[in-house]
């Protein structure tokens, strides 16, 4: 699987995702929703209390990204 991240649009969210991947937090988890060239949603099944919630750093507005 190849995932393209956008650190210029969401630096905190990208940093957190990369950290969680390095820590192996997504090992043996699954993606339950994948839309090509748009979104991949998966879940951490356990131990999520120690992961800080982050606010969205971007918005999707009528077919274009806004910051």
Question: Per-residue pLDDT tens for 16-27?
Answer: 999 989 998 888
Task: Report how many domains make up the chain.
Answer: 1
- Summarised one tens digit per residue, pLDDT across range 26-67 is 888 888 888 888 888 887 666 667 777 777 776 666 566 555
Nearest Cα residue to 58 out of 49, 50, 47, 66: 66
Let me know if residue 4 belongs to a domain: no
E strands within the chain? Answer: 31-35, 39-42, 59-61, 64-66
Let me know if residue 60 belongs to a domain: yes
Give the domain range for residue 50: 11-66
Let me know if residue 25 belongs to a domain: yes
Contact 56, 9 (CB under 8 A): no
Let me know if residue 1 belongs to a domain: no
The reply to whether the predicted model has a pTM over 0.75 is no
Let me know if residue 3 belongs to a domain: no
Let me know if residue 5 belongs to a domain: no
- The more confidently predicted of residues 54 and 8 is 8
């Amino acid at each position: 699987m190849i995932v393209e991240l956008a650190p210029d649009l969401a630096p905190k969210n990208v940093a957190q995702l990369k950290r969680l991947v390095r820590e192996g937090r997504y090992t043996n988890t699954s993606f339950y929703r994948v839309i090509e060239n748009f979104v991949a949603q998966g879940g951490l099944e356990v131990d999520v209390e120690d992961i800080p919630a982050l606010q969205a750093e971007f918005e999707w507005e009528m077919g274009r990204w806004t910051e």
